[in-house]
Amino acid sequence: MKAILLGASGQLGKEWQRIIDKDYSDEIELLSYTSSDLDITHYQEVSDEFRQQKPDVVINCAAFTDVDGSEDHKKRARKVNMEAPLYLAELSQQLEFKLVHYSTDYVFPGTKLNKKEFPEGYSEDHPADPVNWYGKTKWEGEQAIRQTAENHLIIRVSWLCGQFGSNFVKTMLRLGKERDELQVVDDQWGSPTFAENVVENCLNLLGKDIIGTYHVSSKGLISWYDFAKAIFEINNIDVSLEAVDSDAFVTKAERPYFSKLSTQKIESVEGSRIIPWREGLQRLLGQL
């Protein structure tokens, strides 16, 4: 199988490369492109490269992920998160490759009431109602793909973290060494998604030639405070941790209070594995 990977310099893109190189190099020929190699908003270049390479699969890890920055750069966020995926979907139809695309928990409203109504998380078919521009553009990107490409796989993730790039786990490890005291919000609830587990589950879906929308996250429901506390406990970092409301941190973009993704659908697929959040965290901390 020949696969093109877009957004190769991000934490998910680097994890794809690591796992393919380690375990699948005999089965998958992976061509990796950073945004400087191939910008997904440069449509003619993308088209020329795809027509030359003739991939079986295109894995789109490229996105405008700066949640607050999206409020300031609305046109750019929409171009990367909606317009470019639409073009990739059009190419998928023309060139007959499967399009794998990543989306986010932020497509959902994340209300406090939803936390009570859906303790196991949002299902894949729950109505979207994003509360910020980033979530809105990611939802528009999803819809553009669904309406255009038959052979697609959309994977939603939440609180993504892994060995590469920047994420909450790495930030806490750094701050835990720099400071004696930290404040972390305890009124935003969800579950972390570990990049390694995302790639493993995606490979399983690809191997079965499955299409559609799936959630990949971890088992359990925690707050950011709970997550930080576990990071420090497992790593034996002595830091005074204070739980605060999200009002203590003023952000340009509104954040959902609840963003748990239900993984019931993907767990019904043979060979998939959704891990408890603490197991995923312990494994990641060991790798770091």
**Residues with catalytic function:** 134
Cα–Cα distance between 201 and 273 in angstroms, integer?
A: 7
Contact, 100 vs 60, CB < 8 A? yes
Cβ neighbours of residue 182 under 8 Å, at least 6 residues apart? 172, 175, 176, 228, 239, 240, 241, 242
Q: Which amino acid is at 27?
A: E
Contact, 119 vs 262, CB < 8 A? no
Residue by residue, DSSP assigns 95-160 as HT-EEEEEEEGGGS---HHHHHH-TT-B-TTSPP--SSHHHHHHHHHHHHHHHH-SSEEEEEESSE
Q: Which amino acid is at 115?
A: K
What is the arrangement of strands in the sheet containing 29-33, beginning at the earlier edge strand?
A: 29-33, 2-6, 57-60, 98-104, 152-157, 212-215
Contact, 172 vs 120, CB < 8 A? no
Cα–Cα distance between 57 and 157 in angstroms, integer?
A: 20
Which of the 8 DSSP states describes residue 212?
Answer: E
Neighbours of 192 (CB within 10 A): 26
